[in-house]
Amino acid sequence: MSILLFGCPRRDSESGVTRTPAWVRDADRAWEERGDSFEEAEDLLHQAYADNQRQTDVLWRLVRLQVAKGLAAEEKRQSQYAFAEGRSLGLQCLDLDPAFQQRRVELGWPNALEVVQPERVHCLTWTTLAWVKWVQAHGAEAAALDIATLDELINAANLVATDEDRGLLAWAAGILAAVRTDGQGDLTVARSLLELALVADPAAANIRADLIFLVAVPNEDLELL
């Protein structure tokens, strides 16, 4: 799904010009030009991660990469692994903030989500989508204990998300509304949210697939969106 990409800009002390690190420019260019291959973008991100594992801008891009790999995987086990890896990297990203990590460990997710910093909003959004996709891949019954946490993640993310991220959150919330087995699922709500996500990114084949297979929307209806 397409969103605007933000790096970690730095201000040149002499010129006063805000500069984006070279690796961000290179990785984002490789991502935009990736076609069917993630190799160049993945290599650049892994190098940046090897240089410094505590960079928010590296970690959220790695989460996005794992989501894409999970969506592209030919085998179910591969997709499950990719989404799980994305979730893990996303939690690592969020936990870079000591206040968040302490609250999450000691007080739980709802309390921790109150202190998510603006620079980690992309972490929160992509972690939420990776986690929801992991639940979808495993089956909601097998991941029932994750549902309440995902509700908290989606609610918190919607409060702080940028406009570019809202389509991703609608996608995540739509999937969750369709697959949850706790009695709160609603296919009408799922369809509305997934259609909203598709409007945000009309070329997203994976959202179209979720509309067709999760809520049985006829393909001809999708052409009207």
Q: How does pLDDT run along the chain (225 residues), one tens digit per residue?
A: 443 333 444 444 443 333 457 888 888 888 888 877 888 889 989 998 988 889 999 999 999 999 999 999 999 999 999 999 999 999 999 999 999 999 999 999 999 999 998 889 999 999 999 999 999 998 878 778 899 999 999 999 999 888 889 999 999 999 999 999 888 899 999 999 999 999 998 878 999 999 999 987 666 565 555
Question: Regarding the domain delimited by 10-222, which CATH topology (the fold level of the hierarchy) does it fall under?
Answer: 1.25.40
pTM comes to: 0.85
Burial of 74 per CB tally in 10 Å (0-12, 13-18, 19+): exposed
- Dig out the tokens for 148 from the structure: 């309440």
3 state SS of 10: strand
Q: How far apart are CA 38 and CA 183, in angstroms?
A: 38
3 state SS of 18: strand
Distance (Å) of CA 162 to CA 17, 20, 106, 153, 221: 24, 19, 28, 15, 29
